[in-house]
Amino acid sequence: MKLHNFNSGPSILPQSVLTQAAEAVINFNNTGLSLLEIGHRTNWFQEILQEAKDSVKQLMQLDDSYDILFLHGGATTQFMQVPMNLLDTQATAAYCDHGVWGNKAWKEASLFGHVKVVADSSDQQYRYINKGFAIPNDAAYLHITSNNTVEGTQWHTLPETTVPLVADMSSDIFSQPTNFNRFSLIYAGAQKNMGAAGVNLVVIKKDMLGKVARKIPTIMNYQKHIEAGSLMNTPPVFAVYVSMLTLRWIIQEGGLSEMGIRNHRKSSLLYNTIDANPLFEAPVAVEDRSHMNAVFFLKDQSLEAPFLDLCKQEGMIGVKGYRTVGGIRVSMYNALPIESVTSFCELMQFFTQKHG
């Protein structure tokens, strides 16, 4: 039986990436060594890291005012590291609270300085993105979560602001063309569109650093990581390698324009099927629906368990909604083929014929 991997993260990877990564674990580039055994300061790994950084710069079309880091930890670490490096004790940062991760981010930031939550959609269970909210002109930065994996919302138009823009892009990075030069800092855990869990990408504008008075622990200091070329301590070699392979795959497949076309096609197919089906409903505001994570529900909750059982029987993996939200969640990251979405839509229609 063919499995369809709709996991929200760690998530599906391109088959060619899995094959190359598996081969490298046994014998990396015919060196006779496993990738897991090579030194992080060898030319072998230096070439991996450099290609990964070059690929990020190419895909994001970044100018020379940015530095690129591959660091330990996931995006959750950045909830702390961003304000530690950018927010002075007496300064204020503006945050958008549009879901679980944005909420965690602003609470962590409040440990380091003042936080003003300028947008909050919790009044409607985080099912929309606020528009037209006020941003203090003196804010150190504005923080957004570009795609809300748990709730199924996504920014489709960036907020207009004169303050530096910071984004957690963990779940939609490299999924479509974006003006990345509008951001002063971007961070993303790799385990969705960019590789395996264990490494975190940070893209930072150089002029953002050196402005806080606090002493920053060396391992948490972006500037120190830049000076060390992401090699301050032993990096997660395997995770960086898988990220490099995944970024290479995106470029070979046609880059972000092609990813955007594919992802829009997949999400449109699924949302159109949901909207036309009498048993299902997607309560997220239509204009804010995520192309990465579709969150929806059965109108009759008693049918949820039988539907999830059917999904399991038919090899539809990872479709149960997040524990605090419930319902169904179908994640459609770059590596997911449209055939999987088609199969899921056909399963929905089959279920409806049986229970409608």
**104 part of the active site:** no
Residue of 91, 294, 292, 40 lying closest to 188 (CA atoms): 292
Spatial distance between the Cα atoms of 263 and 137, rounded to a whole number of angstroms: 35
Spatial distance between the Cα atoms of 45 and 53, rounded to a whole number of angstroms: 12
Alpha-helical regions (H) of 131-287: 222-227, 237-253, 255-276
φ, ψ for residue 200, nearest 5 deg: -130, 130
**63 part of the active site:** no
- Of the residues 53, 67, 97, 101, only one is catalytic, namely 101
Contacts of 260 (CB under 8 A, 6+ apart): 175, 176, 177
**275 part of the active site:** no
- Of the residues 192, 205, 249, 288, only one is catalytic, namely 192
Q: Which amino acid would we find at residue 110?
A: S
Residue 103 to residues 97, 122, 231: CA-CA distances in angstroms?
Answer: 5, 10, 31
In the structure encoding, which two tokens stand for residue 127, read together?
Answer: 């099912």
- Of the residues 168, 172, 249, 266, only one is catalytic, namely 168
Contacts of 295 (CB under 8 A, 6+ apart): 150, 151, 152, 282, 284, 321, 325, 327, 328, 329
Residue 251 to residues 47, 138, 327: CA-CA distances in angstroms?
Answer: 17, 39, 35
Spatial distance between the Cα atoms of 267 and 288, rounded to a whole number of angstroms: 12
Q: Exposed e or buried b for every residue in 162-198, given b needs 16+ CB within 10 A?
A: ebbbbbbbbbbbbbbbbebeebbbbbbbbbbbbbbbb
CB 108 within 8 A of CB 83: yes
CB 13 within 8 A of CB 352: no
Contacts of 247 (CB under 8 A, 6+ apart): 51, 52, 55, 56, 59, 174, 194, 195
Tell me whether the omega of the peptide bond preceding residue 236 falls within 30 degrees of 0, making it cis.
no
Rounded to 10 degrees, what is the CA torsion of 71, 77, 79, 83? -60
Annotated catalytic residues are: 101, 168, 192
